[in-house]
Amino acid sequence: MSVSGSPTSPLRVAIIGSGPAAFYAAEHLLKQTDVPVQVDMIERLPTPYGLVRGGVAPDHQKIKSVIRIYEGIAKHSAFRFFGNLELGRDLGVEDLPAYFHQIVFATGAQTDRHIGVPGEDLRGIHSATEFVAWYNGHPDFRDRTFDLSAERAAIVGVGNVAIDVARILLLPHSERVITDMAPYALDALSASQVREVSMLGRRGPAQAAFTNLEIKELGPRIDGDVVVTPEDVELDPLSAAEVEAGGRIVKEKVEILRHYSTAAPSGKPGRLFVRFLVSPVEFLGDERGRVRAVRLERNVLVRDEGGGAACRGTGRIEELPVELVFRSVGYKGVPLAGVPFDERRGVIPNDHGRVLEAAGGAPVRGLYATGWIKRGPTGVIGTNKADSIETAKLMLADAAQGLSLEPTSPAPQAFETFARGRQPRLVTFEDWLALDRIEIERGAPLSRPRVKFTTVEDMLAALAD
């Protein structure tokens, strides 16, 4: 078996997806000098950057500025971007071994989890992920509608996505207009009647999934008060022990929540109720099939098998009137045809990034995974760097041992010709940079970071001009 990757025949790598994990994998592969590598990044949209463009909140521009680093990676002479090329539509996984030694899946977690209670399909109940993609102008979600004439909304889950949704709903409009939120979302939110938002945590404050920075910035930023009841921040013995053992960060989280619980009302119009130890057990609808309330069961914490804190219902039920609901209980990966998939975990089964035939099974030669499709939907953008370095190192080690695919057409031009045959409207990185410039130019007179294109047709039309 020959070693893959030499100056005359570089290691040809296809990366599927163009979010942070994809770029960090490309960065590591292109930065090292032991093995000559060429990277082709395949992205189904004409725009790169995955959740940085379509997931990170539009009022978190500082986080979004990480794209300038990715831009630097894309400038490497051995990097090519194949935008508007969709695996499963324009080409299949089975087409790739003819052109590449290695294939890396960095496809993220494209759908969301369900709660699994009656009434979850009522009108007015949405996933947070679709709302986030909608206000961020993702072409697949731009036509979704949300009834923002509702006054009371609930968000199930207390992670950072729940916080983003709560903040965007209650942000003063003057703050929304200076973001790169999609224009249609800006219009819809300007007419929003939502005044009360309840974020519902099934466990206690010590177990809340949000991070301290995110919960702390809510109070000053929203056009309303963060309301936490003092009883909700009283710690049961299990939580007290967790806080004690958890160190500074958990202690600070509980302190922030306690601070909210004692704060005097500011007079601002909105209310964000952050609730703990409650689980939705049923959504109730009106005669038109629209959600009108959620039945919540009070929980207590019990020790789970791993020694952590799990919630158990007490049978005590309350009814919370709401006309709009977002479930924000985590993202979930989707399977790709021809690639092993672990349905239970929603990830590609893998061993530190080497794709396996099934969980615990043998490695599949030449296939790798990184990011959320590798480890599940956890961590912040930077978490993907270490994750992708781990995968990239294994790829280089496998290449050194000749454990790669054996492409029959490894010349870069061969894949480009094939890809153009399947998708004549390929979008290159140069094309994306042109779109980027237009978006930024459109935003400048409005003091907005950019005005996004939100349909693929508009993007392609702008490139054809």
Which residues in this chain contact ligand NAP in the complex, by CB under 6 A? 115, 156-162, 164, 201-203, 207, 209, 211, 214, 279, 328-331, 377-380
Rounded distance between C-alpha atoms, residue 284 and residue 319, angstroms = 9
Q: Return the number of the residue (267 or 315) whose C-beta is nearest ligand NAP.
A: 315
Give me the DSSP letters along 389-413: HHHHHHHHHHHHTT-S---S--SHH
Q: How far is the CB of 210 from ligand NAP (least distance, A)?
A: 7
Q: How far is the CB of 161 from ligand NAP (least distance, A)?
A: 3
Q: Return the number of the residue (26 or 156) whose C-beta is nearest ligand NAP.
A: 156
Cα separation values, 382 from 111, 386, 389, Å = 21, 8, 12
Q: Return the number of the residue (64 or 101) whose C-beta is nearest ligand NAP.
A: 64
**Residue with token string 């005359």:** 8
Q: How far is the CB of 125 from ligand NAP (least distance, A)?
A: 13
Q: Return the number of the residue (329 or 347) whose C-beta is nearest ligand NAP.
A: 329
The strand ranges marked E within 60-187 are 79-82, 102-105, 111-112, 125-127, 152-156
Specify the pairing of strand 102-105 against strand 363-369: parallel
Residue number of the CB atom closest to ligand NAP: 159
Rounded distance between C-alpha atoms, residue 169 and residue 360, angstroms = 43
Q: Return the number of the residue (116 or 315) whose C-beta is nearest ligand NAP.
A: 116
Q: How far is the CB of 214 from ligand NAP (least distance, A)?
A: 5
Cα separation values, 403 from 2, 52, 102, 234, 431, Å = 8, 33, 10, 56, 35
Q: Return the number of the residue (9 or 212) whose C-beta is nearest ligand NAP.
A: 212
The strand pairing partners of 427, in sequence order, are: 83
Q: How far is the CB of 354 from ligand NAP (least distance, A)?
A: 24
Q: Return the number of the residue (81 or 273) whose C-beta is nearest ligand NAP.
A: 273
Q: How far is the CB of 410 from ligand NAP (least distance, A)?
A: 37
Q: How far is the CB of 375 from ligand NAP (least distance, A)?
A: 10
Locate 303 and state its tokens: 């020790």
Q: How far is the CB of 115 from ligand NAP (least distance, A)?
A: 5
Q: Return the number of the residue (44 or 64) whose C-beta is nearest ligand NAP.
A: 64
Q: Identify the CA nearest to 22 among candidates 1, 5, 40, 4.
A: 40
Q: Return the number of the residue (54 or 410) whose C-beta is nearest ligand NAP.
A: 54
CB contact set of 146 (below 8 Å; sequence gap of 6+): 126, 131, 134, 188, 324
DSSP annotation of 444:
G
**Residue with token string 């983003």:** 164
Q: How far is the CB of 309 from ligand NAP (least distance, A)?
A: 8
Specify the pairing of strand 152-156 against strand 324-327: parallel
The strand pairing partners of 257, in sequence order, are: none
Q: Return the number of the residue (39 or 57) whose C-beta is nearest ligand NAP.
A: 57
Q: How far is the CB of 387 from ligand NAP (least distance, A)?
A: 12
Cβ atoms 131, 138 nearer than 8 A: no
Q: Identify the CA nearest to 280 among candidates 115, 112, 114, 113.
A: 115
* Angle, helices 183-190/128-135, rounded to nearest 10 degrees: 110
